[in-house]
Structure 1
């Protein structure tokens, strides 16, 4: 089996849009479109099918119902740095699902743990039974 722990995302499958950043920054943030919107379509990509399925199954808010990953990077004043940061975040998202999850081996409780559970249930029942009314003594 091939090592799929590091699958690189081709840059030509990403689309970048320069937008104005939000938040503080004064005149610079008002006049310069330095924030980057990265859009990456999972179904149209050249990623392996298993990784596509795991990406689509993620409950990540950055992935739309159509399978498009939208990442907004606006931390830097430089458009190039924001572009690099957005690409790094997309790569981290892909890397997070690149390793297939381990299959769970079903196990059964041990005899001692079953006995302990039943004993604690019996003790709890006894405590509750003792809470009843005390019969009047003659």
Structure 2
């Protein structure tokens, strides 16, 4: 499908200060990790794969074709980097899989018969609730 090693070399990482409360230490340490991936300049993906990713990830990409992912789940920069890489590969793998076309099948005759039988029973039940017609 795609070469993970080549794709991993094309990733750019940036460490940023994590937001939120924390204390004295959080203001000094950049534990939040940002992953930047330039989809248009990628050498690891074929043109067909790039077009498919551009189509499926159009809401996540910037105007320049950059995919930006962030992770600040843990206090460790290295763990955040591992998590964001895993999330990146999950997104790429999920976007490159093409769903099989569903082949529509004909409704079985037994299902049609069962539906009509239930319909007739319900109709008779409601007809029996009416007042009798005395003429």
Q: TM-score, normalised by structure 1?
A: 0.70
- The structure with higher relative contact order (CA 8 Å, sep 6+) is 1
- 2:12/2:36 contact within 8 Å kept: yes
In 2, the alpha carbon distance for the partners of 1:35 and 1:43 equals: 25
Asked whether the equivalents of residues 41 and 69 of structure 1 are also in contact (C-alpha less than 8 Å), the reply is yes
Question: Mapping of 1:5-44 within 5 angstroms?
Answer: 7-8=3-4, 10-44=7-41
Structure 2: runs of 5+ lacking an equivalent: none
RMSD: 3.1
Contact in 1 for aligned 2:53/2:96 (Cα 8 Å)? no
Matches of 1:89 and 1:131 in 2, distance apart? 61
Alignment of structure 1 residues 1-138 onto 2, 5 Å? 4=1, 7-8=3-4, 10-46=7-43, 47-58=45-56, 63-64=60-61, 66=63, 67-130=65-128, 132=130, 134=131
Query: Do the aligned partners of 1:14 and 1:39 also contact (CA within 8 Å) in 2?
Result: yes
Q: CA deviation at 1:90?
A: 0.5
The answer (yes or no) to whether the contact 1:51–1:94 under 8 Å persists in 2 is no
Distance 1:75 1:52 in 2: 29
- Distance of 2:23 and 2:116 partners within structure 1: 67
**1:128 Cα deviation from its structure 2 partner:** 4.5
